[in-house]
Amino acid sequence: MPNGHSACYKQLYLGECVLATAFGIAIGPYGADIFNPRSWGSTDQVTLEVMRFVLATGVFAIGVELPGSYMASNWRSLVFLIVPLMTFGWFISAGLIIGLFPSLNFTSALVISACLTPTDPILAVAIIMGDFAVKHVPRHIRLLLAAESASNDGMAYPFLTLPIYLTLEATTKSAVGKWLLFGCLYQVIFGTFFGAVIGTALRYILKFAHKRNFIDLESFALQYLALAIFIMGVANMIGCDELLACFAAGNAISWDKKFNEKTEASMFVPLMDLIITSVGFLYIGAWIPFNTFNAVDLGIAPWRLVVLGISLIALRRIPAILLLQKLVPDLRNIRQTLLCGHFGPMGVGAIYISTLAVSKLPQPNYPPANQIELLASVTQPIVSFIFLVSLVVREWV
C-alpha cells in the first residue's frame, strides 16, 4: 500500500497526486505544451492501459497490506458499504446529471454516473495513509476505507455494463441477459475467484522458493510489481474483472503475512508506488480536455459542471451512509459515519471507467447526430472535470 503523502505534505498539506496532476497540466497542451497525449491521435487505448496499470498495481498493494483475515472478518461492513451505497450513489449521480444536462436520457446518465460511483483506491490510500490521517483517523476506519475503495472500483463494472448494454443492444431482454451472464457472473464473480486462486497458488510457490533459497530478498520485493502485472494481464486476456482479480490475489498472497514480512524492509515497494502514482496523475493532468468544459453544442457549460461537482460531494454518499450506519459494525459513531460518507474521492478509477465506456461506444461525429454519439462526446469532459473537483476537495477538506 502506498505510504501516502510525501514530505511536502507536512509543510503544504499537498500530496503527490495533486502535485503530479498540477505538473501534468503545466507541461500539457494548456500549459507549456511539452507533453500532449492527445497529439498522438486516438489516445483512448493508451489512456485505458495507463489507468489500468496504475489501478491494478494500486489495488494489488491494498490487498497485500490489509490484515490477512480482514476481508473475512469485516465482510458485513464491506457488503453494506459496497452494494447499497454504490447503488444509491449511482442513481443519485444519474439524477443530478439528468437535471443539469437535460439533453441526456436516463440510460446515458447511468453510464456517466457509473464512472463516478466507485471510490478511487489510489487517491483514497494517498490520503488515508498520510501522516495526518494516521494520527487522527482510527485504524479500523482507515482499513475499512482502503478495502472499500479497492473492492468497489472493480465493482463498477456491473454498474457500467448494464446501461451500456441497454444502449447498444436491440432489446432489453438481450441487454439484461448479457449483463447477468458476462457483467456479473463472469467479470465480477469469476474474476474474484480467479484472483484468489492465482494468489493462493503464488503464495505457496513463493514460500517454497524462499524456503529453499531459490529467491533472494531483492527478487522477493520485485515480485510486488511483477505479480500485479502478471495477474492484470492474464485477467484482462481472459476478459474478467482485472481490478477485483488483482485485489483478491494481493489479499490471498499475503494471507499469512509472510509476503509482507519479506518486502516491508525494502525501499523498492514504496518507491515503486510513488513513481507509478505520480506518472499516472501527471498523465491525467496533461490529458484533461479543458477545451470541452464550455461546449455549447454538447450542452456543457462551466456552471453546470461546478454545480454537479458540489452536488455530488454533498449527496453521492452522505445521505445513504447515514441511513446505513446501524448496519455497518465498523461505524461506531456519527463522526466516523460522516467521515466515511464525505470520503469518496473520484480519481484514476473515474478516468479509467469513462475511457472504458467510450471505447465501447461508436466514434461520435461533431456535433453528435444521436443520443449514443452525444454520450460518447460528453462522458470524458464531465468525468474529467469532476476528477479535478474531487482531487482538490478531498485533499484539503
pLDDT of residue 98: 95
pLDDT tens readout for residues 288-328: 999 999 998 899 999 999 999 999 999 999 999 999 999 99
- Residue 63: give the domain boundaries: 40-395
Which H helix or E strand runs over 18? helix 16-27
Peptide bond into 367 cis (omega under 30): yes
* Mean pLDDT (whole number) for 145-151: 88
DSSP string, 66-109: S-TTHHHHTHHHHHHHHHHHHHHHHHHHHHHHHHH-TTS-HHHH
Tell me whether residue 14 is in a domain.
no
Binned at pLDDT 50, 70 and 90, residue 12 comes out as: low
pLDDT tens readout for residues 87-128: 999 999 999 999 999 999 999 999 999 999 988 888 887 667
Tell me whether residue 9 is in a domain.
no
Tell me whether residue 20 is in a domain.
no
Average pLDDT, the chain: 87
Q: Where residue 139 sits, what CATH number does that domain have?
A: 1.20.1530.20
Tell me whether residue 32 is in a domain.
no
- The reported pTM is 0.91
Q: How far apart are CA 53 and CA 61, in angstroms?
A: 12
pLDDT of residue 352: 94
pLDDT of residue 5: 45
- For residue 227 the three cell numbers come to 505479480
Instruction: Report the domain count for the chain.
Output: 1
Tell me whether residue 100 is in a domain.
yes
Binned at pLDDT 50, 70 and 90, residue 186 comes out as: very high
pLDDT of residue 203: 87
pLDDT of residue 41 exceeding 80? no
Tell me whether residue 220 is in a domain.
yes
**pLDDT greater at residue 13 or residue 48:** 48
**pLDDT greater at residue 364 or residue 42:** 364
Torsion of CA 249, 252, 258, 259, to 10 degrees: 10
- For residue 128 the three cell numbers come to 488515508
Q: Which of 69-73, 350-354, 377-381 has the lowest mean pLDDT?
A: 69-73
**pLDDT greater at residue 246 or residue 5:** 246
Which H helix or E strand runs over 154? helix 139-154
pLDDT of residue 210: 77
pLDDT of residue 266 exceeding 50? yes
Tell me whether residue 2 is in a domain.
no
CB-neighbour burial class of residue 312 (10 A; exposed 0-12, middle 13-18, buried 19+): buried
Give the type of residue at 300.
I
Tell me whether residue 357 is in a domain.
yes
pLDDT of residue 376: 93
pLDDT of residue 68 exceeding 90? no
pLDDT of residue 198 exceeding 70? yes
Hey, is 295 helix, strand or coil? strand
